[in-house]
Structure 1
């Protein structure tokens, strides 16, 4: 991962952890260069991403300030500018999964996926939170295909710092050559509403993510539901030319 993305991730985590109060002056570019031993270009690119995500505000002559939670809607901002950031989903949060059964992929999910999804899938479900006792920012169900074998039983479900995807990669050597993501606004059914502590029928963001190996086979699927007021995607796109 480029150094500026690594720096942006470190600074983002510090902001979301409350190390900088809202409205507080952020360290200068010079101070950040010295603290992290990086170039001014690296610092500027990192700050540009944090600004695009609504975490900081930069004004010429006034310096950089941290945006208070109210100014960014109180929601967790997930950066999305490349696959590296995509797979670092929700740093600073944790989820504990529990077994949720085994069998064919539910029809309502399978019909949204182009590659073949036949076979048996092992399911795990969990709630993602930023702090213990806080309202969840996501209710997620993860599905793993039977071809992954014994590695499924070896997964650490207890808020491991490693994602389930990275654990699968280490245990099996299977890696994703393609990651697809479909985002859709839906109304929360009774089950989703109860899990997320929202009213039934409330708008939630459904994110369906597929991990596809080099053979074109789907080996992992995740379906997450996010309350509209607790999660936001911040997309940064560099224009070529």
Structure 2
């Protein structure tokens, strides 16, 4: 049985690296561990100790796969899709964070909370959109009308993750999510245990043998088999209990 962990809000918090206590717990597991995040790979690496950089990482909500310190898959937008999205961005005077498989373009405020998690390891380059060779994920940071832009994006052939509280729109190519990446890795339905905390974990929860929601999220709660508090020791205890396989299977 595989274990699949989201990062932010699930096992790492407030932009800080995953704690040594949680990492030691994960390192002790006999089961395979996979990390699956909305972050691109370059932003996942700084919150994981180097001994975990050989683990399988799913980034960009499923658009990127990284194994044994190498990129093995990147699912990109088509030029036609990008043209339509950029027209909408311009019409709504939106600012954005756009990721390629490694580098990025950012036009939002320098003091926006999202900036603190972008390329903290200084592993990439900040480029213009035209300099990016491919685009795997688009995050609309600020726009003049969140509801109107969201409505126009939702009719496009793309996957959208909505963050209503932050008024942020997260866009990926159609059919790309954490479950699609797990399938690409050969992970079968009902053959993994998932830990997550947000709407972008829904597809991962739907196909898991067991799913654990950290904290509370109204949309995700419907698909969670159980909910636990966002406390380090509680999370560690739950991982250890499920690893023993004597509580749910």
Using the size of structure 2 for normalisation, the TM-score is 0.24
Q: If each structure's strand is expressed as a fraction of its own residues, which one has the higher value? A: 1
Max radius of gyration: which structure? 1
